[in-house]
Amino acid sequence: MPRSRMQRLLGIGGTLIVLAILSFLLLPVLVVTMAAFNDKALLSFPPQSLSLRWFINAVAYQDFRTGFQNGLVVAPWSASIALVVGAAFALAIDRYRFRFKRLLEGALISPLFVPHFTVGLGFLMLAVQVTLVNTYVVVIVCHVVLVLPFVLRSVYVSLRNFDRRLELAAASLGAPPQRVLITVTLPLLLPGLVSGWLFAAILSFNEFTASLFVTGQRTQTLPVAMYNYVREYADPSMAALSVMYIVGIAILLTIANAFLGLGKVLNVEHDR
């Protein structure tokens, strides 16, 4: 039948397109990964001989170590502050009606549209005014602003999916508000809160453009350190670092998914 042949052709074509898209998505990762194992001191592709020495070099390089440690300070702090602030705003937007609500929503997600270098430059100028240049404070504040829209979104979505009748049911069973919060609301919002925090932390850890402005020698984060490195050297250390970066985040997300997958199961109940 002509129709079934047509369908088969479409099926094969579709599969090829999907494969092409996937390979384009993964191609950069593949190229960088292969370059990381190159023995030569050149960022070239394909590698001629294999070695792990650039991994050792990357781990040993002091600026990378400092950058990584700074990231471990900045990311959790900015994610945590953004989570508290974002959750409060998400709650206000979800549950209360007030004037300028739209305006507030717009302001909160504006960092999505404002270029990161604008935010970075702005905070740098402010930091000069209050003599906070080269401190963690300015980096963290800047990152909080940048990741806030994502946290807000994540918490807001889980609040929307939350069936408020569960709170009413708990109240009808004699639970005062704070007990309702601890035994019903928070446990059911937890997956959304955790995923929001995690997303914010990863974004903060990866943030480069604004960080370039607001970090100093002492507070530079890993992406800034990497940028400074490639300006001077062109060896595969960068590629090796990228591979470690990707593997690290993949592990983190796998763990998180085990947790959040459980969260999705919990939320099934609200879909009716």
Partner 1 sequence: MIADLEPQAENTTAENGETITVCFEHVSKRFNAVVALSDVSLAIRRGEFMTLLGPSGCGKTTLLNLVAGFFSPDDGRILIGRQLVNDLPTYKREIGMMFQNYALFPHMTVMSNIAYGLKTRHLPTREIARRVADVLALVKLVGLEDRKPRQLSGGQQQRVALARALVINPKVLLLDEPFSALDKHLRASMQMELRDIQRKLGVTTIFVTHDQSEALSLSDRIAVMSEGCIRQVGRPDDIYTNPCERFVASFVGDANVLRGRLVSMNRTQATVALGAVQILVQSEPLLGIAISAPVDVFIRPEQLRFTEANEPCASKGTIVSQVYQGGHVDLYVECKDSPRSRLLVRLSEPRASICWAIGAQVGIALNTNEAIAFPIV
In the complex, the smallest distance separating the C-beta of residue 184 from partner 1, rounded to whole angstroms, is 6
Task: Return the number of the residue (63 or 163) whose C-beta is nearest partner 1.
Answer: 163
Give the nearest distance from C-beta 167 to partner 1 in angstroms: 9
CA angle 87, 91, 94 (to 5 degrees): 135
Closest CB to partner 1 among residues 49, 172: 172
Q: How far is the CB of 96 from partner 1 (least distance, A)?
A: 15
Q: Smaller CB distance to partner 1: residue 30 or 265?
A: 265
What's the min distance (Å) between Cβ of 197 and partner 1?
Answer: 19
Q: Smaller CB distance to partner 1: residue 98 or 113?
A: 98
Q: What minimum distance in Å lies between the beta carbon of 165 and partner 1? A: 4
Burial of 219: CB neighbours in 10 Å, binned 0-12, 13-18, 19+: buried
- Find the shortest distance in angstroms from Cβ 194 to partner 1: 14
Instruction: Give the nearer residue to partner 1 in terms of CB position, either 8 or 165.
Output: 165
Is-contact 221 215, C-beta < 8 A? Answer: yes
Whole-number Cα distances in Å, 135 to 72, 147, 198: 15, 19, 24
Helix (H, G, I), strand (E, B) or coil at 235: coil
Residue 142: name the closest of 234, 74, 236, 92 by CA.
74
Rounded alpha-carbon distances, angstroms, from residue 87 to 11, 67, 99: 45, 29, 19
- Sign of the four-CA dihedral 73, 196, 256, 223: negative
**Residue 164, both tokens:** 């408020």
Q: Which residues contact 231 (CB under 8 A, 6 or more apart)?
A: none
- Of 146 and 193, nearer to partner 1 (C-beta) is 193
Question: Which residue type does 41 have?
Answer: A
- In the complex, the smallest distance separating the C-beta of residue 97 from partner 1, rounded to whole angstroms, is 11
Q: Which is nearer to partner 1, 26 or 265 (CB)?
A: 265
- 125 CB neighbour count, 10 Å cutoff: 10
Cβ atoms of 160 and 152 within 8 Å: the answer is no
Which residues would be at the binding site for partner 1 (CB under 8 A)? 163, 165-166, 168-177, 179, 183-184, 187-188, 265-270, 272
